[in-house]
Amino acid sequence: MYTLGIDIGSTTSKCVILKDGAKEVAKSLIVAGTGTDGPNRALNEVLKKANLKLEDVSYIVSTGYGRKGYRLANTEISELSCHAKGVMHLFPKVRTIIDIGGQDAKVLSINERGRLAEFVMNDKCAAGTGRFLDVMANVLKLDISDLEKEARKATNPVQISSTCTVFAESEVISQLSNGSSRENVVAGICKSVANRVATLAKRLDIKDEVFMSGGVAKNEGVRNAMEEVLNTKIVYSKDSQLMGALGAALFAYEKSIKEE
């Protein structure tokens, strides 16, 4: 039996297909989120990779910011539950999840039974989200995926003191014109994201192991800065951005079994 999870995010659409609720058959990621053709493109791509037709899929769960009203989904489930489900499936020892997406950041506490116990989120301010990195990458004329390479070269990361994205953008421009190197500015940007989210995380009792999910987790500069500021090791997977879609596909399997 094939089940599919689709995570319709603010910037990116992700899909995972599972066989019998365990084996990952295919995954897709399209950088186009809710309100675009991204969800359908991600769906078509994952079906193509799996060599399946839509009719072959028994159950679809949608999650993410644009999960509501996705007409191909049998049901929708919140991204908090789906991230927790996906992460716990692969990393059962994780007790804290830091999920930084395109427009919000969430910190989740997982209890001993692997269930979501508590969470805090920032969805009011772009600082400490992927949006902050997207804006800064644009200012620096860099691709989002190049930020970590730049940060790695830094010798003396600059301090970004503005807590507002718009002011931080001006601060970055003035740092550059005052002679700070691009790599030191990028490292400062990564640190700024980590500091913002760490402040949020500290509102919960952070327990080992700490996992980073969401697109921003791909950035090693942010992960390293997070380890430093939280004084804990960060667990990460190259598929961190797909945890929501994986969780949705796992829920889809459970639901299809119940309805059989």
Under the rule (CB under 6 A), what is the footprint of ligand ADP?
9-12, 33, 64-65, 101-103, 130-131, 133-134, 144-145, 147, 214-216, 218-219, 241
Q: How far is the CB of 10 from ligand ADP (least distance, A)?
A: 4
Q: How far is the CB of 63 from ligand ADP (least distance, A)?
A: 9
Q: How far is the CB of 193 from ligand ADP (least distance, A)?
A: 9
Nearer to ligand ADP, 64 or 253 (CB): 64
Nearer to ligand ADP, 26 or 30 (CB): 30
Q: How far is the CB of 112 from ligand ADP (least distance, A)?
A: 27
> 110-114 — which CB contacts under 8 Å span 24+ positions?
110/84, 114/84, 114/88
Phi and psi (nearest 5°) for 92?
A: -65, -15
Nearer to ligand ADP, 32 or 52 (CB): 32
Nearer to ligand ADP, 239 or 256 (CB): 239
